[in-house]
Structure 1
Amino acid sequence: MIFGVFTVILFIIFLIFHLSDPRRIINGFLFNMFCCSLLVSGIYFAVTTPIVIFRVMILIPLFIVLLFLSTFGILALCVGLFLNARILMKKEGRRFSNCLTLILGLGLLLLLLFSVVNPERFLSPNLRPLFAGGSLIVFYFFFSLTNFLSAYFLYQFNKPKYNQDFIIVLGSGLIRDKVPPLLASRIDKAIDFYRKQASAAYPPTIIFSGGQGPDENLSEAEAMQKYAIEKGIPPEHTLKEDRSVNTYQNMLFSKQIMDSLKNGKYNSIFTTNNFHLFRAGLYAKQTGLKSQGIGSKTAFYYWPNAMIREYIAILVMNRKRHIIVVGTILAFSIIITIISFLVS
């Protein structure tokens, strides 16, 4: 009974946080806590219930899943990451940014090898606190990653209402002064929302946000606007923000335009590719923009590498907190190691 009550409480807390603002990583942590509590509650119910069929239905599938994960889970994940890296580099080129799944696969394979060899047994007892500290740091980043992935996943289901005054389309670069497929998908998503809202209520204004790169003859905003007009969007329902050079500035300069037109009283959303959705939402929050995002589809093979890149970018955004945590763990490990040497 107590497990069930605790699970319900966790679910209510998660809902409060998520519904108040889905652009927070703590939502992922709360969702993971709820899922763990639900799992424990299910196991407890299966063990204590007198109904045998319920025990079989819950415990046997759970045992099979846990057995597979404990024996082949990491190895299967490594194989999947290697295959993804091969497909991605074949389709997108052998750039370093396309090698992240390969690097992660090698890292996981190394961790698997470490767990089998157990190098701690070769260390002096005095040095084991350092090894424990390193293991704790790895666990910390794994914990951080799981929270990010859950928050990232939950944000994909954001469904804004058809009462928006503005739609911000985030730029992503031109190719030979033309809108490439990746950017076109963002504009098409905005056009689709524009048409649905126009038929249900009133047409919003689309703000195309993106400056001019050093190798471009026109701004992204101008190229995007032309693309949308060719798709049938009335020019009077479009605006250009052509100063920004990154996502933060996309949000900041677009907010300035909307504030000047509506005196801060408006509803807005932004469109980008779904892999970029959550981080863009964090930048919107940093600028004081209440906008939520909707994401355009991305090829499935592109997702794993893109998610790793997004996680690294969010680590950099919150680098002060991570430096403090990692620094604290290292400091304690070093202090304990020094003490152990002095005592021995």
Structure 2
Amino acid sequence: MGMLLLAAVAALLYMRWRSRDRRMLRNGVALCAAVGCGSLGLLQLLGQLVPGFGFVTLGLLLLLPASVVVLCGFLVANGVTMLRREGRRLSNMLSLLAGVALAVLPVLGLRLVLFQEPWSIALAVLLFFASTYVGVAFLVFLSYAWVYGRSTRHEHPAAVVVLGSRLIDGRVPPLLRARLDRAIEVHRETEPKPLLIPSGGQGPDESRPEGEAMAEHLLASGVPAADVVPEPRALNTAQNLEYSRRIQVEAGRDGALLAVTNTYHVLRAALLARRAGLRAEVTGAPTARYFIPSAFLREFVAVMKGHLFLHAVLFLPFLAATGLVLVAALGR
């Protein structure tokens, strides 16, 4: 019953935190803790009540290594697809690198343990802790990104900012077109009509600002010119939100701001909006399936980099435990 009690406490925390602000990653921590503890508690309860159910639990545990192998194969195959379709850039190699890491790290850990040296055993323990920490952090990020991305908007936006992304030959590619089409959908559904702000500056490999090309697409799709004000200077998501908010205020469109991006980018954009103190929510547009694994990994890396100090503090107990293992190994 202890696990079920912990699940109930985590669920209450999740509901309380979410009611305050949906744009917090700690909501995902509470949600995953509630689901994880609840699942373990349910398995324990069924094991006590149902004869032979322990074999089912054992079978599930034995499936874990097979699932890791399947995941490795999927990530490697996806990485090859990304390189073939999107080009040889580091951001397009993330799923491939993750698949290789999943295959190599267990073998490396086993080799370190077999060395039977104090330093190798401590390093194997540290590798295990680090891998587990990153894996759990990614699970929290992925789970809450999925939950947040499917949440219903609570307010009719006064303005909608479409977050920019890279143009191809000065034109709007399918990835960016999906965002614009989602913004058009919101515009058609909302009364009074919100201001549409296509936001994006000119990158080093682009022939013109993204906001300019995006505005052309909106106008060509039938959006009235009075409802479109491009923002052509922003070079990242934080600037997209900040500069677009200024345009909203200058246009006299007081009220909530809604940001439109692709599904994989929704949670990080929401976190940035909250950090900037903006009254803004984020909604997602469809993304090509092959693009999603690498894109989510890229977003996860960006979120981790943005909270390096926090993660360093949270990892200190694991470093201390590794130190104790090393001391114990040296004392044998």
Q: Which residue of structure 2 aligns with residue 254 of structure 1?
A: 244
Q: Alpha-carbon deviations, 1:276-317, whole Å to 9, x = none?
A: 111111111121112111111111111111111111111111
Q: Indicate the RMSD between aligned Cα atoms, in angstroms.
A: 2.7
Q: Show structure 1 runs of 5+ residues with no match.
A: none
Quick one: percent identity of the two aligned structures? 28
Distance in structure 2 (CA, Å) of the matches to 1:59 and 1:159: 40
* Amino acid in structure 2 at the alignment position of 1:226: E
Q: Which residue of structure 2 aligns with residue 44 of structure 1?
A: 44
Alignment of 1:245-324 (within 5 A): 245-262=235-252, 265-324=254-313
User: TM-score, with normalisation over the residues of structure 2?
Assistant: 0.89
State the Cα distance separating 1:155 from its structure 2 match: 1.4
* Structure 2 CA distance for partners of 1:43 and 1:135, relative to 1, 3 Å: closer
Q: Which residue of structure 1 aligns with residue 156 of structure 2?
A: 163
The answer to whether the aligner puts 1:82 opposite 2:76 as a matched pair is yes
Partner-residue secondary structure (3-state), 2:98? helix
What is the aligned length?
332
The answer to whether the aligner puts 1:154 opposite 2:147 as a matched pair is yes
* Structure 2 CA distance for partners of 1:25 and 1:195, relative to 1, 3 Å: same
Distance in structure 2 (CA, Å) of the matches to 1:303 and 1:191: 23
State the Cα distance separating 1:252 from its structure 2 match: 1.1
The answer to whether the aligner puts 1:233 opposite 2:233 as a matched pair is no
Q: Which residue of structure 1 aligns with residue 189 of structure 2?
A: 196
Q: Report the more deviating stretch, 87-96 or 312-321.
A: 87-96
State the Cα distance separating 1:162 from its structure 2 match: 5.6
Distance in structure 1 (CA, Å) of the matches to 2:148 and 2:124: 36
Q: Which residue of structure 2 aligns with residue 139 of structure 1?
A: 132
Distance in structure 1 (CA, Å) of the matches to 2:101 and 2:205: 37
Distance in structure 2 (CA, Å) of the matches to 1:335 and 1:61: 36
Indicate if the aligned counterparts of 1:24 and 1:151 stay in contact, CA closer than 8 A.
no
* Structure 2 CA distance for partners of 1:268 and 1:324, relative to 1, 3 Å: same
Partner-residue secondary structure (3-state), 1:208? strand
* Amino acid in structure 1 at the alignment position of 2:289: F
Q: Alpha-carbon deviations, 1:14-47, whole Å to 9, x = none?
A: 1222232222221121111111221123123313
* Amino acid in structure 2 at the alignment position of 1:250: N
Distance in structure 2 (CA, Å) of the matches to 1:90 and 1:217: 24
Q: Which residue of structure 2 aligns with residue 110 of structure 1?
A: 104
State the Cα distance separating 1:251 from its structure 2 match: 0.8
Q: Which residue of structure 2 aligns with residue 184 of structure 1?
A: 177
Indicate if the aligned counterparts of 1:78 and 1:109 stay in contact, CA closer than 8 A.
yes
Q: Report the more deviating stretch, 120-129 or 220-229.
A: 120-129
Q: Show structure 2 runs of 5+ residues with no match.
A: none
